[in-house]
Structure 1
Amino acid sequence: MTEFRPHDYQKRAIRFCLDHKKCGLFLPMGAGKTVTTLTVLDQLVPIDVCKVLIIGPVRVIQSTWPDEIEKWDHTKDMSYSVVAGTPKQREEALQADADIFLIGKENVQWLVDKHGRDWAFDMVVIDELSAFKNPKAQRFKALRKVMPLVDRFIGLTGTPAPRGIPDLWSQIYLMDRGERLGRTLGQFRERYLKPGRRNGYIVYEWKPQDDAEQRIYERIGDICMSLNQKECAELPPVQRLEIPIRMPAMALDQYRAYKREKVLELNDNDTLIAANAGVLCGQLLQMTSGEIYTKNDNGEITGTQIVHSSKLAALDDLIESANGNPVLVFYYFRHELYRIKKHLQSMKVNVRELVDAKDVNAWNRGHIDVLLAHPASAGHGLNLQKGGHIMVWYTLPNWDLELYQQANARLYRQGQNQNVLIYHLIAKDTIDEDMIMALDRKKVTQQNLIDALRR
Structure 2
Amino acid sequence: MSLAYKPHSYQEYAINRVEDSPIAGLFLDMGLGKTVITLTAINNLKYDSFDIDKVLIIAPKRVAEDTWSRESSKWQHTQHLRISKILGTQKKRLDALKADADIYIINRENVPWLVAQTGKKWPFDMVVIDELSSFKNSDSQRWRALRRIRPFIKRIVGLTGTPAPNSLMDLWAQLYLLDSGERLGSTLGGYRDRYFYAAAKQGHVVHSWKQKRETESKIYEAISDICVSMKAEDHLEMPEKLMNYIPVVLDKESRAKYDQLERDLLLPLVDADTTIIANGSAVLSNKLLQMANGAIYDEDKIAHVIHEAKLDKLEDVIESANGKPVLLFYSFKHDIKRIAKRFKIKELKTNDDIAEWNKGNIPLMGCHPASAGHGLNLQDGGCIVVWFGLNWSLELYEQANARLYRQGQKDNVIIHHLVAEGTMDEQVIEALDRKATGQNALMAAVKARIDKYKKG
TM-score bucket (shorter structure):
0.5 to 0.7
Aligned to 2:140: 137
Please say if residues 296 and 306 of structure 2, whose CA atoms lie closer than 8 Å, have aligned partners that are also in contact.
no
State whether residues 162 and 402 of structure 1, in contact with CA within 8 Å, keep that contact through their aligned partners in structure 2.
no
Kept in 1, the 8 Å contact 2:31–2:243? The answer is no
* Partner residue in 1 for 2:151: 148
Quick one: distance in 1 between partners of 2:59 and 2:383?
A: 16
> 5 Å matches for 1:73-112?
73-112=76-115
Could you tell me how far 1:217 is from its partner in structure 2? 1.0
Distance 1:403 1:93, change over 3 A: farther
Shift of 1:209: 1.5
* Aligned residues of 2:344 and 2:364 also touching (Cα < 8 A): no
2 CA distance for matches of 1:169 and 1:94?
Answer: 30
- Counterpart CA distance in 2 for 1:406 and 1:2 is 32
2:7 matched residue in structure 1: 6
Q: Deviation string for 1:52-76 (max 9, x for gaps)?
A: 0000000001100010011110001
Matches within 5 A, 1:264-303: none
- Indicate the SS of the match to 1:30: coil
For the Cα contact (< 8 Å) 1:237–1:420, is it kept in 2? Answer: no
Deviation at 1:203, TM superposition (A): 2.2
Equivalent pairs: percent with the same residue? 39
Q: Deviations over 1:76-102 (max 9, x none)?
A: 100010000111111111000001000
Are the aligned partners of 2:287 and 2:296 in contact in 1 as well (CA < 8 Å)?
Answer: no
Instruction: Tell me the equivalent position of 1:379.
Output: 318
Write the mapping of 1:423-434 to structure 2, written as runs, cut at 5 A: none
The 5-angstrom pairing of residues 39-438 of structure 1 reads 39-46=40-47, 47-228=50-231, 231=236, 234-235=240-241, 347=301, 352-354=306-308, 359=309, 371-372=310-311, 376-379=315-318, 390-391=329-330, 394=340, 396=344, 408=384, 411=387, 419=398, 421=400
Q: How many residues align?
A: 311
TM-score by length of 2: 0.59
Q: For the structure 1 residues 193 and 31, does the alpha-carbon distance in structure 2 shift closer, same or farther, using more than 3 Å as the test? A: same
The structure-2 alpha-carbon separation of the partners of 1:145 and 1:38, relative to structure 1 and needing over 3 Å to count, comes to: same
User: Please, which runs of 5 or more residues in structure 1 have no aligned partner?
Assistant: 239-322, 331-336, 360-370, 383-388, 425-443, 448-455
Higher RCO (C-alpha 8 Å, min separation 6): 1
SS of equivalent to 1:210: coil
RMSD between aligned residues: 4.2
Q: Is the 8 A contact 1:128 1:157 kept in 2?
A: yes
Deviations 1:134-173 (A, max 9, x none): 1111101110111111111110011211111001001111
SS of alignment partner, residue 45 of structure 1: helix
Q: Give the conservation status (yes or no) of the 8 Å contact 2:86–2:97.
A: yes
Assess, with a 3 A threshold, how the Cα gap between structure 1 residues 59 and 179 changes in structure 2: closer, same or farther: same
- Structure 2: where are the runs of 5+ without partners? 245-285, 322-327, 331-335, 347-359, 366-380, 389-393, 404-409, 413-456
In structure 1, how many angstroms separate the alpha carbons of the residues matched to 2:11 and 2:398?
A: 24
* d(CA) in 2 for partners of 1:328, 1:157: 32
Amino acid at match of 2:132: L
1:114 positional shift: 1.5
Counterpart-to-counterpart distance in 2, 1:208 and 1:3: 46
TM-score (norm 1): 0.59
- Tell me whether 1:28 sits opposite 2:34 in the alignment: no
Instruction: Look up the SS of the partner of 2:95 in the other structure.
Output: helix
Deviation at 1:10, TM superposition (A): 0.4
User: Structure 1 residue 419: deviation in Å?
Assistant: 4.0
The CA deviation string for residues 396-438 of structure 1, in whole angstroms up to 9 with x for no partner, is 46999988999956659xxxx96484899xxxxxxxxxxxxxx
TM-superposed CA distance for 1:116, in Å, is 2.0
